[in-house]
A and B are shown apart, each in its own frame.
Chain A
């Protein structure tokens, strides 16, 4: 699809007209589309893995674990649950209004726009699409142009499986995004950086379009002292997996930096080094287990973080770069300066600062003096400390003693707060995010409440006071003239 603006206008108009036919509201249509997504993923596993390898050097296991598997799970769950989700929820109406009935009925918003990002180009496109379709909307998906193989894959394959009148892929870069944002949408779902999110939301404001912004932030991992050696080992393994094992650190929920008590820092760093070597070997480019950096621009961005001499001096492991292959070695830094860019901006790469504190409780103050992150990880067995972290910090989510798995929990809302975004999805939350919850109340024309109408007088006023307090007995007395009113 090229970026001809007239063509775009036609596309948006056609989608709106198709939505008006009501076809996408039917549960059969929704289920067919969800099944089609399942088929697409199952029948194209190799092609998808290939595209991910081309764009990011992602290992097929990572590709399955983080993208394909997640999409399959989400589509299956939605397929099984959509009918239940579509059902209205009853609301209790006070007896005063008898006979009356109240309910909240979810309905599709209409024509929705989804922007996905480059680091999980399949998952972050298809998962929101699953939500939009279950809620009965028509969709435009604009995949990131920084992952061109995946963008192409989506543009070529989605039309083969899904209803092309209702789901359209628009490829392109910044100029296409600008064009798209000129149109009126009924909802915009955006995954990406805060900088672009501001542009999207400002555009959305012109048409009063509601938005969901899935952003990122510096996700900290608080590493408390774990006295049991096997717990300690497991924690370090999980941290290594969550830093470098997920798109080489280019993930919104990846661990950005570590907080550890000064006296344990060398122990932690030694074990980190050990597991890096164990998982990724000595020749990382050849082993093909680690993703590469997405492109030259981000590669340079990351290298620049290390250029600051005080930062470079704090490197205790790694630091080597391979410009040809866009590869950066897993790198650990010990206490880089807190005002350096590596500690003020989201890293989104394979560099792990280890920040030492005197007492681990200080982590809370450290985290609170910075923008709210998408996730806080905490490795601790101290239940009091756990409660303190939950009560005194704010983040999209908090995970204790593990990493990343919250992404697979479709019963937990996934989204940020503050600078890490607003709105949420996954499971039923996806359905809700693309729905309007319409309040519906039914009354009857019999059984009238006289005091509702002017002309007003003291009797009517007192009636209404009693009614508000749902003081039915008082109301009866009042009506019988047995209650005094002042």
Chain B
């Protein structure tokens, strides 16, 4: 059966009816769904690990840490704090509206759409879904077709564990996504690239649907010379090749360091790379493969340029039949080369050298704002300058990627790397409308509000608007 515009419209209609029945609003429903979700992730861990092995040859530990572990954490935090998140927040009121009381009530947006990516197909599908459900919405998930085993498993598992009248999965590619985007949603959360992000936002514009776009960019890593080389090298490796072999939106994309320090950094990276992945990294089971032949071709294209391949100082081995590329270091590729103008999203790590490390700020700010930026240094002043001058979705000093795991920090981009954020309570907020409620009574109304407008009324009103108690008294007594 083809999933076309008609099917999409009918799906949205069905979910809207479910939402309008009010069932997703209750605390009980939300908790029951989150508990079912947690059960699913725990009981089906083996199946999930298998699907990711099939789609990406992802090492089981990476799946457990980044996909399952993070999802469980997300769910557990939500289960623990949901009641508090759902509680209306009191707002202060001033003399201008005296007597009155006010509060801000969080309410679900309605029927929302989550479109996820192929590199962390479970995490990036389900973490937003957790947020949507916690906020009381009905949700449709469209997983990426580039990770087909994961997509199929998501369809199966969500069908088995979740309330199908309110939570649904639609599999497919461009046609199905287009059909979904033609519908009116109350919110769309998209994870992926800038090109499709633009298409999603333009489609959303037709219905005035707010969007969250989690995109990417070239996440720079600045390395100072006063650091512990071994720890620095290992943390860079963990964030680059330890994360889906560099196919992650917040992987360090490239390094900037001084000309003097670069050789030492390269040596440290070589040693630690061997410690982690052995002498034959193409055979290592601890590295994901490249997801598809399209992406394999995209990555090898970066190396087609002689001016770039000539700068390889480590690695560069590839195996097309197995879609594997070894961890590759490049030193001082030309700044206008393709590898330095597009997001790499793979196991190639260019190292750019500068005379003075301060030059790195200008270098970074010349490009578009990335999703993450990293700095390794022990110089506190330099840390301060970096935080002040570098704009990115998030910054992490002396480590890579970990800020993703901290649910008290908002995760999202700025500029080309996206708009909006989620994780932890930010996920709840992402799918919530904060409705302002003002309660007034029938006392305390002055005739000053109504015509005919006299001088006294005008003066009193001025004072009231400004919240000036003395002014009000004076005006009323005719003293001003």
Interface set of A (CB-CB < 8 Å, partner B):
20, 59-61, 64-65, 69-70, 72-73, 76, 91-94, 97, 102, 104-105, 107, 109, 186, 194, 197-198, 201-202, 204-206, 208, 210, 213, 215, 228, 230-231, 234-235, 237-238, 240-241, 245, 279-280, 289, 368, 386, 390-392, 394-402, 405-406, 408-409, 411-414, 417-419, 421-424, 436-446, 448, 452-456, 460-461, 464-465, 468
Closest to A418 in B: B186
Give the residue of B69, B93, B396 whose beta carbon is less than 8 angstroms from that of A411.
B93
CB distance from B17 to the nearest CB of A (A): 13
Residues 269-295 of chain B: 1 if any A CB is under 8 Å from the residue's CB, otherwise 0? 000000111100000101100000000
Q: Are A396 and B435 CB-contacts (below 8 A) given A69-B462, A439-B394, A442-B398?
A: yes
Question: Could you tell me if A453 and B242 are in contact, using CB atoms closer than 8 angstroms?
Answer: yes
Interface with A: B251-259, B317-325, B444-452, which one? Answer: B444-452
Question: Could you tell me if B72 and A468 are in contact, using CB atoms closer than 8 angstroms?
Answer: yes
Question: Could you tell me if A394 and B277 are in contact, using CB atoms closer than 8 angstroms?
Answer: no
Question: Could you tell me if B61 and A461 are in contact, using CB atoms closer than 8 angstroms?
Answer: yes
Q: Are A437 and B419 CB-contacts (below 8 A) given A72-B466, A235-B442, A445-B232?
A: no
CB distance from A289 to the nearest CB of B (A): 5
> Which of B210, B234, B434, B442 is the most central at the interface, judged by chain A CB atoms within 10 Å of its CB?
B442
How many pairs of residues, A versus B, come closer than 8 Å at their CB atoms? 281
> Which of B449, B452, B461 is the most central at the interface, judged by chain A CB atoms within 10 Å of its CB?
B449
Closest to B184 in A: A418
Question: Could you tell me if B397 and A442 are in contact, using CB atoms closer than 8 angstroms?
Answer: yes
Q: Which 10 A-B pairs have the closest CB atoms?
A: A69-B465, A205-B201, A201-B205, A439-B394, A454-B286, A402-B440, A397-B436, A422-B210, A412-B436, A61-B453
Question: Given contacts A202-B202, A391-B25, could you give 20 more A-B pairs where the C-beta distance is less than 8 Å?
Answer: A64-B458, A186-B415, A201-B205, A245-B449, A394-B107, A397-B437, A398-B436, A402-B100, A405-B97, A409-B97, A418-B110, A418-B208, A438-B391, A439-B403, A440-B396, A441-B394, A453-B242, A453-B275, A454-B61, A455-B277
Question: Could you tell me if A464 and B392 are in contact, using CB atoms closer than 8 angstroms?
Answer: no
Describe B's contact surface by its main secondary structure. Answer: mixed
Give the residue of A230, A406, A417 whose beta carbon is less than 8 angstroms from that of B109.
A417
Give the residue of A61, A94, A465 whose beta carbon is less than 8 angstroms from that of B458.
A61
B59 close to chain A: CB less than 8 A = yes
Q: Are A409 and B406 CB-contacts (below 8 A) given A73-B465, A438-B394, A443-B398?
A: no
What residues of B have a CB within 8 angstroms of the CB of A72 in the complex? Answer: 465-466
Question: Could you tell me if A439 and B395 are in contact, using CB atoms closer than 8 angstroms?
Answer: yes
What residues of B have a CB within 8 angstroms of the CB of A205 in the complex? Answer: 198, 201-202, 204-205
How many residues of B are counted as interface, with CB atoms below 8 angstroms from the partner's CB atoms? 104
What residues of B have a CB within 8 angstroms of the CB of A460 in the complex? Answer: 61
What residues of B have a CB within 8 angstroms of the CB of A409 in the complex? Answer: 91, 93-94, 96-97, 102, 436, 438
Residues 198-221 of chain B: 1 if any A CB is under 8 Å from the residue's CB, otherwise 0? 100110111010100101000000
Give the residue of A107, A408, A439 whose beta carbon is less than 8 angstroms from that of B411.
A439
Interface set of B (CB-CB < 8 Å, partner A):
20, 22, 25, 59-61, 64-65, 69-70, 72-73, 91-94, 96-97, 100, 102, 104-105, 107, 109-110, 186, 194, 197-198, 201-202, 204-206, 208, 210, 213, 215, 227-228, 231-232, 234, 237-238, 242, 275-278, 284, 286-287, 365, 376, 378, 383, 387, 391-399, 402-403, 406, 408-411, 414-416, 418-421, 433-442, 445, 449-453, 457-458, 461-462, 465-467
Q: Are A465 and B376 CB-contacts (below 8 A) given A73-B467, A241-B449?
A: no
Cα–Cα, bound, A69→B467 (Å): 10
Cα–Cα, bound, A97→B61 (Å): 19
What residues of B have a CB within 8 angstroms of the CB of A289 in the complex? Answer: 451-453
Give the residue of B228, B410, B419 whose beta carbon is less than 8 angstroms from that of A208.
B419
CB distance from A327 to the nearest CB of B (A): 16
Q: Are A454 and B408 CB-contacts (below 8 A) given A401-B439, A445-B232?
A: no
Question: Could you tell me if B276 and A455 are in contact, using CB atoms closer than 8 angstroms?
Answer: yes
Cα–Cα, bound, A406→B100 (Å): 10
